[in-house]
Structure 1
Amino acid sequence: MFRTALRNVLAHKARLLMTVLAVMLGVAFVSGTLVFTDTLGNAFRNQSAKSYDNVAVAITTYADQRDEKSQGIDDATLEKIQALDGVASATGRVSGFAGVADPDGKLIGNGWSNTGGNFAPGKDGKDTAYTFTEGTGPVKAGTIALDKDTASKGKYRVGDPVRVATNGPVKEYTLAGVFTTEDGAVNAGGSLVLFDTAVAQKLYLKPGVFQDVTVSAAAGTSDQKLLSAVEPLLPKDASAQTGAALADEQAEQIESGLGALNGMLLAFAGIALFVGIFLIANTFTMLVAQRTKELALMRAVGASRSQVKRSVLLEAAVVGAIASVIGFVLGLGLAIGLRSAMSLLGGKIPAGPLVVSPTAVAAAFTVGIVITVLAAWLPARRAAKIAPVAAMSSVHAVATTKSLVVRNSIGGFLGLIGAAAIVAGASAAGTNGRYTVAAGAFFALIAVIVLIPLLSRPVIALVRPLLMKLFGVSGKLAAQNAVRNPRRTGATASALAIGLTLVTGISVLGVTLGQAVDRMTTDNIKADYMVSMASGGLLDQSALSALEKADGVSAISPQQSSALWVGEDYHSASGVTPGDVEKVFSLETVSGSLGSLNDGEIAVGSKTAKSNGWKTGDTLPVKFEDEKKGKLKIGALYEENDFLSPFLLPKDIVNAHTPQADIREIWLKMDGGASAANEKSVVDALGDNPAMSIKDQADIRDMFGGMVNIALNIMYGLLAMALIIAVLGVINTLAMSVFERQQEIGMLRAIGLDKRRVKRMIRLEAVVISVFGAVIGVVLGTFLGWAIGQTLAAEIPDYALVIPWDRLALFLVLAGLVGVLASLWPARSAAKLNMLTAIKTE
C-alpha cells in the first residue's frame, strides 16, 4: 500500500501542488517563528551573560534625584566595599536620560531609550564596560563620549561640539571619545552619552552618590562569599545579588518577553494552518472522487477498507513530509529576513549564530505531517466506505439525506451556542466578557464551516439572475457550477470566510477605536500645542518658566502630576494654572466656577464628587504628598476630562507640597492658533532642545491613533498568510473542477460555447465562490467587531461603534479580484482543452 500511495502522489503531482504550497507556507511560518525567537533569545542571553562576565556582585538602588529619602551608595560606602578582602574592584554607576541633537537639531534615537551615564575609569584609565575606537573617556566637566552608532548618525568626530539635553536646558559639550558597547539601550535604538562621574552625579542624583555598584572578585574569591561580605555595608534601599544570579534573572526576563512574541506569531501561524486544512481536505476529497473506480478495483481484488484508508493517509503523510522539508528551509530564510528587517527598522540585534533547535525541527515536521494527515482523514474515511460494486457503476457519490440533516442540525446548534455566547459576552463587558465573546466566536466559526454548504444554494441563487442578465449562458453555467457540489464550494469559501472574519473584525474594532481617540482629542483639548519630554519623563520647571515668557502664548497650563488623600482614600490630582486651564482644555462646569481656582479653591470631577457625596462649597480634610495636612474647599464640579486627573489644584498649592514639580506636559494656547511662526516661537523659547517634543492637535491624534493603526497593519500583515492560503484554495478547487469536468466542457465547446465564454464561465464561478465566502466573513466579522467593542465600551470614553463601509466594500471588491486572479490558470486550461479528447474522457 505504501508503493501505491507513493505512485499516486507521483501521478497527481500537479493536483497536489496547491496542498504542498499551503502546508509549506504554514510550516515556514511556524519554523521561521521558532528559529527567529530562539536566535533572538540566544543573542540577548549571550549579551546579558557577557555584560556580567567580570561582575561578582551587582548592587542596585532606586535612588532618585527627586526623592530625598532615597540614599543611594555614597563615596564612603563605596570605599568600604573596595577595601573588603577579595574585592578586585568596585565601580559606581549613575544614569538617567540624555538626548543628543543631530546637526539639524533633531533628536538622535527613539527618545525612551536615550541614556546618559558616567565614565568610571580604573587605575589604568580604562572603563571595562566600554571599548573606545576614537579618543578617550570624558574625565573633566564639559566633555562627553558617544556610542559609535550615535556619533555616526550625528556625523560627529572627536573635538566637535555636541548639544546634549537632559531633563533641563540643552547644553553644549566637547566630544572626547567614541566607544562601542553592548548596552541594551543602544541595541534598542537609543543612544548612550558618557559624562565625567562628578558631572553625571550632579545631573542625575547628587554629588558623591551612586545608584548602582558592580564588584569584581579577586582570584580565588567566590561570588557568594563576596556577596555575604558586601550586604552588611549597604543602606536599606539597596539590594545585592551575584552577577550570575542577575544574568539568570535577565535571561528569564528575555525568555518571558520573547515568549509573548513567540505566542502571537504562532497564533497567526495556527490560523494560517487552520485555513489550509480546508484546502487539503478539498484536494483529497476531489482526488478520492476522481479515483472512485480505481479504489473500487482495489477493493474488488482484495484490499480491505482499512488498507484503502491507510493508502490515502499515506499519500497525505508523504505530501506533508515533502511540504515540511520545503517549508522548513523557507522558515530559515524567513528567520534571517526577520532579523535583517529588525536591523533596518533601527533595532540593533546582538551578533550571534542562527539557532536551529531540535524543538523547531520537530515542531515544523510534526505540524506539517499531522495537519495534512488530519485534513485527509475524512476523505480517507469516505474512500474506505465505498462499496466495490457501487463504485464500479458510478463515479459520483452523493451525500445521503440523513447525513445532510445531521450536518445541518449540528451546525445550527453550534451557531445558536456561538451567537448566544457572543451576545452574552458583549453584555457582560470587561475581560470576562471578552473571553466569552472569544468562545462564542470559536463556535460561530465552526458553525459557519458546517453550515456554509447549506447557505451556498440560497445565497448564490440570489445573484444567479444578475449573472444571467449580464453574462448570459456563461453566467448561468457559472452559478450552477458553483452550487453543483455545495460541500466543495463550502470548503473553498470557508477558507476565505475565516480569513475575512478576522480581518473585518479587526478593521471594525480598529476604526472604532481610532475614531474614539480622535473624539477624545478634539472633545477634550483646546490647546494648540502640547510640550513633553521625548523620553516620556518629567519636564523641568525651567521649561514652564521659559514658555510663560514666549511670544504669542495667550494661555499656558502644566499638567502637573500630584496626589492627595481625603480620609483614607487616595486620589490623583493635577496641578494647573488658574484662569488658563479652561482655555487649553475643554472643561464643562457642572456647578460652581473654575474661576475659584484663583482663590485657592479646587475643582473636582463630577463622577468622583458623586461617588463620594461631595458638592460645591464642601471643605475636604486632605493630606498632601509631603504628609502635611490641610483643608481644601471645592469651588467647582466639572465633567471629567481624559487628559486631567479628577482633582484640579492650583499649581502653587501643589508646588508648596512637593520638592520638585512633576510636570508631564505643558499645554499652550497661541495667538492665531497653530502655525509655523508660533511653533518656532515655542522651539526658540525652549532653546531648540532636541529632547523636548512639541505636538499640535493633529500630532496628538496621530500619537494615539497611530498606535491603533500600527497594530491594525501588523494584524493585516500576519493574517495575509491565511488569505494567501485561501486564494490557493480557490485556484486548487477550480483547477481540479476543470479536470473533473473535462467531458462536460468538451460537450459545451462542441455545441457552440467558444473559448472566450468558457474562460468567462470559469472566472465567474471563481468570483461567485470568492465573494460568497467574503460576504459570510464580512457579516460575521462585523458582528464580532461589535461584540468585542461592547466589552471595551466602559473603558473607552465616548465609545461609539463605527462600521467602515468603505473598507468592507473594498474587501468584497478585492475578494472578487482574488477570484478573477485565481481563475486565470484554470480558465486558460479549460479553454485549451481539445473538445474531441475531452468528450472521450471518462
Structure 2
Amino acid sequence: MLRTALRNVFAHKARLLMTMLAVLLGVAFVSGTLVFTSTISNAFQKSSEKGYSHVDVSIKQESKGAPEGRDSVSPLSRRTLEKAAALPGAKSATGVVSGFAALSGKDGKLVGDGFSTQGANYYGGPDGKGADPRYPMKDGAAPRAPGQIALDAKTAERTGYKVGDTVRMSVDGPVRTEKVTGIYTTDDGSVAAGGSLVLFDNATAQKLFAKPGEYTEISLQAASGVSQAALKKQAEKVLPAHTEAVTGKKLADDESKQIAEGMSGMQTSMLAFAGIALFVGIFIIANTFTMLVAQRTKELALLRAVGASRRQVTRSVLIEALVVGFVAGIAGMAAGIGIAAGLRAVIGNMGTMPSGPLVIEPGTFVASLIVGVVITVLAAWLPARRAAKIPPVAAMGSVHAPATTRSLVVRNTIGALFAAAGAALVLMATGAGGSKAQMGLGAGLLLIGVFVLTPLLSRPLIAAAAPVLRLFKVSGKLARQNAVRNPRRTAATASALMIGLTLITGLTVIAGGVQNAIDKMASDSLKADYTISMANFTPLSPDVEKKLANSDEVTASSPLRNAQARIGGGTEYLTGVNGDSIAQLTSLDFTKGGWSGIGGGHKVVVDTKTAKGNGWKVGSRFEAEFEDGKKQVLSVGGLYKGNQMIKGIMVDNKTVTPHMSKVADMQVLAKTKGGATDEVKDALTKQLGDNPAIQVQDKKDVSEGIAQMINILLNMLYGLLAMAVIVAVLGVINTLAMSVFERGQEIGMLRAIGLDRKGIKRMVRLESLVISLFGGVLGIGLGVFFGWAAGELIAGAGLDTYTLVLPWGRLGLFLALAALVGVLAALWPARRAARLNMLTAIKTE
C-alpha cells in the first residue's frame, strides 16, 4: 500500500503540481513573515545594544511620570550632573538633552521621516572643550558655539551636505540657519532606521530642548571593575525627586522588548493574511484529492476486493497528502526565505532599517513543515474517508451515488443555523453596547454559514445567468448545466474566491466610509481656510501665530494651545483659543449657549460628553488648578457636539497662558482674504520661511493626507490578499481540469455530433466565468454587509459623521477581477478539452 501510494503521487503530476503550488504559496507567506520579522527584530536589537555601549547607568525621569497637574518634566541640573560624576564608581558622566529637530535637504524638503528627525547635544565635558565618546567625528570638528551643528554620516551622505555648508532647519517652527562644522558616526537606532540626528553645542541644545543648565538624562559610565548594579546603587543616593536610575543593560533590554512587541504586531497581521491564503488553499487541496480519489475509484475498489482494508485505503491517500505537504513545505520555506530577503533589500534601500544578517530560526523551519504537512493532510482526510466508505462492488460497477438528499438537508440546515446566528451577532454588535469580539465572532459564523450553504445558493444564482448564456447557444447552455452538475465542487471552488473578495470589499467599504466621515467632519467643524502645524505634530512655537496674525492675507487666526489642569480631583486638558476670533474659524454645533463672553473672560465652552461626565450645564461653575499650582473659577458658557477633530474644554488663551511653564501651540487656525487657493498657500508658506518642518494645509490637504494613509494601508492589504486570489485561481483551474476529465466521453460525443473545437473552448470558458462570477457576487455581497456592520460599530465608537459609502467603481472593478480570474483560469483546461481525440474520448470508460 505504501508503494502504491508513492506511485500515485507521480501518476497525476499536473494536478498535484497545482496542489503543491497552493500549499507552497501559503507556507512561503508564513515562513517569509517569520524570517522577515526575525531579521528586522534582530537588526534593531543589535543596533540598540550598540547605542547603549557607552551607558552603564542612566538617570532619567521616572517612567510613571510626575504628579498629575504639574510640569511633567523633572529637571536634571548641572549640580546633579556634578554629583553623579563624583560618584566613586563612575568613570565619566554625560549630560544628555534631545528633542525634535527638522532638517531641510538641498531640495527644501524635510530630511528623515519626521518622527525620527532628532536633535541632541554634543557634551564636551564640564568645560565644553573635550570630546563626546558617543559621537566620534569622521570629518571636521564638533559644534562649540551657537550657529554650529554636526550631522550624522548617513544623513550627510543622503543629503550631500559637507563640512562648511549652511543648512536650514527648525526645532519648533521658526527657521534657523546653521553651519555644518563636522560629520560624525553613530550607532543610534533611529539613525540606523533612516532618521537623522543633528548635534548642537551643549548650551544651544539646552535652550532648544529643555532649559538653560538642565538635562533630560544623565548617562554614567562605570569605572574599571565596577558593575552596572553597583554603580546604580551609588547613583540612587544622588537622585533628585521624580527621577530614577536604570542600568544600561535594562535600557537595551527594554528597547529590545519594545522592538519585539512592535514586530509582533506586524507579524500577527502578516500571519493573519497567510492564514487566509492557507484557508483558501484548503478548499483547493480538498478539491484536488476529491478529484484524484474520484479518478481512482475503481482502482481503490479493486484494492479493497483483493484484501485492502478501509484503513489501508484511507492511509494510502493520507500518505500521498503527507508527501505532497512535506515537499511543498520545504519548497515554501525556500521561497519564504527569498521573499524575506527581497523585503529586507527593498526596505534597506529605502534607508529605514539597520543592516544585519538574514535570521532563520529553527522554529521557522519546523513551523513551515508543520503548516505544509498538517494543512495538506487535514484537507485530504475527508476525501480519503469518503473513498474508503464506497463498497468495492458498487465502485467497480460505477453505481456509487453522489451525496444523498438527507445529507444535503443536514448540510443546508447546519449552514442556515450558522448563517442566522452569525447575522444575528453582527446586527447585535452594531447596536448600543456592541463589541469588536461580538462582531468578529458573528462575521466568522456568517462566513462559515454561507460557505456551507453555497451548494444550495449555486443553483438559483447560476440560473440567473441563463439569459446571458443563451446568447452563446449550445456552448452557453452546456456551460450552465456543467456549472451546477456538481454543486459541492462548484461551491468549494467559488468559496475560495468569495473569501478573498469578501475581505477586499469589506475593507474598501470601511475605508470609503471613514474617508467620507473625515471630509464631512472637517467641512462641518472648520470655517478656517488653513491649519498650520509641525510636520510631526509636535508643539509649535507661538511666534508662528504672531507672524500669521501680522500677515496682510490673514483676516482671523487662533492658536490651539493645550494646558493641563486638575478639575474635581481628576486631570483635564484645556484647549486655549483666541476668544475674539475663534467663532470666525470654527463651526461648532452648539446645543446650548455659544462663544459669547469667552474672549478675555473666565467662561469656557465644553463638548456635551465631557459636560455630562462632570454633571455640568450652561452656567455651571468649577475650580481649575493650573500646572503652576494657582487656582481659578471658570464657568460654562456653551455646550457643543464634539467630534474627533474638535472636542474638550475650550477657554481663552489669556486665561491659561500665564500659568504655562512653556508656551507652545498644537496648531494654528487661519482665515484668509482670498480663501483656500494655491497662491495664498504659497504666500503663507513663504512668509513662514519655506520651513520644511511646518505644514500649511487647507481642508482638502487634510483630507488627502488622511486618504493617502488609508490608501497606503489598503494597497498593502490588497497586496497581501492577492495571495488568496492567486490560490483561488488555482482552485478554478483544478475544478475545470477535473470537469474536463469527468466529461471526456461527453466531450468526445459533442465533437462527434458537430460541436467544433471553438465551441468546446467556449463552453469551458463560460463555465469558468460563471463559477468565478458566482464567487465574486457572494464575496462582494458579504463584503458590503460586513463593511456596513463595521461602519456602524465605528460610528458608535465616536465617529458620528460615519455613513455608508458604496464605492461603485471599485465594486465593479472587483467583479471584473472575478471575471478575469475565470477567463485566465480556463485557458489551460479549455485548450486541453479542445485537443481531446474524439474517438479515444468516446471509448474511455
Shared fold per TM-score greater than 0.5: yes
Paired with 1:696 and 1:396, the residues of 2 have a C-alpha distance of 71
| Alpha-carbon distance change, 376 to 148 in structure 1, aligned in 2, over 3 angstroms | same
1:310 is displaced (CA, Å) by 0.5
| Structure 1 residue aligned with 2:531 | 530
Amino acid corresponding to residue 783 of structure 2 in structure 1:
G
SS of the equivalent of 2:754 reads coil
Q: Are the structure 2 counterparts of residues 45 and 641 from structure 1 closer, same or farther at C-alpha, using a change threshold of 3 Å? A: closer
CA distance in 2, matches of 1:82, 1:840: 97
Q: Name the CA distance, whole Å, in 1 between partners of 2:588 and 2:430.
A: 31
- The SS at the match of 1:813 is helix
Kept in 2: contact 1:603–1:634 (CA 8 A): yes
| Cross-structure match for 1:239 | 244
Paired-residue identity, %: 53
Q: What residue is the counterpart of 1:129 in the other structure? A: 134
Does residue 158 of structure 2 align to residue 153 of structure 1?
yes
The residue number in structure 1 matching 2:196 is: 191
Amino acid at match of 1:664: M
Once the two structures are TM-superposed, the CA of residue 812 in structure 1 deviates from its matched residue by: 1.5
Distance 1:615 1:400, change over 3 A: closer
Separation (CA, whole Å) in 2 of partners of 1:610 and 1:129: 53
Looking at structure 2, the residues matched to 198 and 598 of structure 1 have their Cα atoms a distance apart, in angstroms, of 39
Question: Alignment partner for residue 254 of structure 1, among 259, 273, 276?
Answer: 259
Is the 1:619–1:631 contact (alpha carbons within 8 Å) kept by the matching residues of 2? yes
* C-alpha displacement of 1:753: 0.6
Evaluate the alpha carbon distance shift between residue 572 and residue 455 of structure 1 in structure 2; reply closer, same or farther with a 3 A threshold: same
Output the amino acid matched with 2:376. Answer: T
1:311-390 matches, cutoff 5 A: 311-347=316-352, 349-390=353-394
Q: Distance in 1 between matches of 2:71 and 2:15?
A: 75
Within 2, Cα distance between the matches of 1:741 and 1:180?
71
CA deviations on 1:401-432 (whole Å, 9 max, x unpaired) are 222222222212222221222122222445xx
Shift, 1:715, TM fit: 1.8
Letter in 2 for 1:830: A
Alignment correspondent of 2:824: 821
Q: Which residue of 2 aligns with 1:695?
A: 697
Aligned residues of 1:429 and 1:790 also touching (Cα < 8 A):
no
Change (3 A) 1:324 1:753: same
Distance 1:49 1:421, change over 3 A: same
Structure 1 residues 236, 521: closer, same or farther in 2, change over 3 A? same
Counterpart of 2:475 in structure 1 is: 474
SS of corresponding position for 1:141: coil
Partner of 1:2: 2
Distance between the aligned counterparts of 1:346 and 1:579, measured in 2? 47
Which residue identity is paired with 1:655?
Answer: T
Q: CA deviation at 1:37?
A: 1.0
Name the aligned partner's letter for residue 109 of structure 1.
Answer: G
| Aligned mates of 1:164, 1:381 — CA distance in 2 | 71
Asked whether the 8 Å contact 2:193–2:354 carries over to 1, the reply is: no
Structure 1 residue 590 displacement after superposition: 4.2
- Pick from 689, 698, 716: which aligns with 2:718? 716
How far off is 1:669 after superposition? Answer: 0.7
Contact 1:59 1:214 in 2 (8 A): yes
Which residue of structure 2 aligns with residue 283 of structure 1? 288
SS at match of 1:777: helix
Cα 1:553/1:320, change in 2 over 3 Å: same
Match of 1:394 among 383, 395, 398: 398
Higher mean C-alpha displacement, 333-342 vs 679-688:
679-688
Shift of 1:628: 2.3
Is residue 173–residue 693 contact of structure 2 (8 Å, CA) maintained in 1?
Answer: no
**How many Å apart are 1:827 and its aligned residue?**
0.7
Q: Report the residue type matching 1:83 in the other structure.
A: A
Q: Which runs of 5+ in 2 are unaligned?
A: none
Instruction: Identify the residue that residue 579 of structure 1 maps to in structure 2.
Output: 580
- Equivalences for 1:604-615 in 2 at 5 Å? 604-605=605-606, 607=608, 608-609=610-611, 614-615=616-617
List aligned pairs for 1:427-506, cutoff 5 A: 427-430=431-434, 433-468=435-470, 470-506=471-507
In the other structure, the counterpart of 1:735 is: 737
Preserved CA contact (<8 Å) 1:763 1:820 = yes
Bigger mean CA offset, 52-61 vs 268-277: 52-61
- Retained in 2: the 8 A contact 1:145–1:177? yes
TM (norm. structure 2) is: 0.95
Q: Is the 8 A contact 1:550 1:681 kept in 2?
A: no
Summarize the Cα distance change of 1:248–1:570 in structure 2 as closer, same or farther, 3 Å threshold: closer
Match for residue 45 of structure 1? 45
| Structure 1 stretch displaced more, 379-388 or 40-49 | 40-49
Computed over aligned residues only, the root mean square deviation of the Cα atoms, in angstroms, reads: 2.1
1:228 match: 233
1:283/1:706 CA distance change after superposition, 3 Å: same
8 Å CA contact 2:47, 2:192 repeated in 1: no
> Does 2:647 align with 1:645?
yes
Whether the aligned pair in 1 keeps the contact of 2:51 and 2:189 (CA below 8 Å) is no
User: Equivalents in 1 of 2:211, 2:365: separation in Å?
Assistant: 54
User: Cα gap change, 1:646/1:355 in structure 2, threshold over 3 Å: closer, same or farther?
Assistant: closer
Cα distance in 2 for partners of 1:244, 1:638 equals 50
3-state SS of 1:532 partner: strand
Any idea what SS the aligned residue of 2:146 has?
coil
For the Cα contact (< 8 Å) 1:201–1:207, is it kept in 2? Answer: yes
Partner of 1:551: 552
Q: Helix, strand or coil: the match of 1:350?
A: coil
Q: Is the 8 A contact 2:37 2:267 kept in 1?
A: yes
Counterpart secondary structure, 1:116: strand
Query: Structure 1: which amino acid aligns with 2:764?
Result: I
Task: Specify which of 112, 115, 127 is matched with residue 115 of structure 2.
Answer: 112
Instruction: Specify whether residues 5 and 131 from structure 1 end up closer, same or farther in structure 2 by C-alpha distance, changes over 3 A only.
Output: farther
Q: Kindly provide the amino acid, as one letter, of the partner of residue 745 in structure 1.
A: I
8 Å contact from structure 1 (residues 113, 535) kept in 2:
no
Question: Residue 539 of structure 1 aligns to a residue in which SS?
Answer: coil
Structure 1: which amino acid aligns with 2:378? L
1:95 counterpart residue number: 98
Is the aligned partner of 1:179 residue 2:184? yes
Structure 1 pair 308/748, CA: closer, same or farther in 2 (3 Å)? same
What do residues 58-86 of structure 1 show as CA deviations (whole Å, max 9, x unaligned)? 2223799x986844332222222222223
Distance 1:503 1:36 in 2: 24
Between the aligned partners of 1:82 and 1:565, the Cα distance in structure 2 is 38
Q: Please report how far the alpha carbon of residue 640 of structure 1 lies from its aligned counterpart in structure 2 after TM superposition.
A: 3.3
Give the 3 Å change call, closer, same or farther, for CA 487–638 of structure 1 in structure 2: closer
Cα shift at 1:627: 3.2
Residue-by-residue CA offset, 1:190-243 (whole Å, 9 max, x unaligned) = 211011112211221122222212222222222211111111011122211221
Aligned to 2:766: 764
Structure 1 counterpart of 2:419, from 415, 418, 422: 415
What's the secondary structure of 2:10's corresponding residue?
A: helix
Report the secondary structure of 1:241's partner residue.
strand
Measured after TM superposition, the shift of residue 689 of structure 1 is 2.3
TM-score of the superposed pair, with normalisation by structure 1: 0.96
Q: Is the 8 A contact 1:324 1:368 kept in 2?
A: yes
In the alignment, is residue 661 of structure 1 matched against residue 666 of structure 2? no
Structure-2 residue corresponding to 1:264:
269
CA distance in 1, matches of 2:93, 2:550: 47
Q: CA deviation at 1:653?
A: 1.3
How far off is 1:385 after superposition? 0.8
Shift of 1:259: 1.2
Give matches, 1:823-842, under 5 Å: 823-842=826-845
**Structure 1: any 5+ residue segments left out of the alignment?**
none
Question: Does the aligned pair in 2 maintain the 1:551–1:681 contact within 8 Å?
Answer: no
Distance 1:124 1:591, change over 3 A: closer
Give the AA of the match of 1:336. Answer: A
Structure 2 equivalent of residue 628 of structure 1: 630
Match of 1:544, as an amino acid?
E
Instruction: Give the 3-state SS of the residue equivalent to 1:163 in structure 2.
Output: strand
Q: CA deviation at 1:634?
A: 3.8
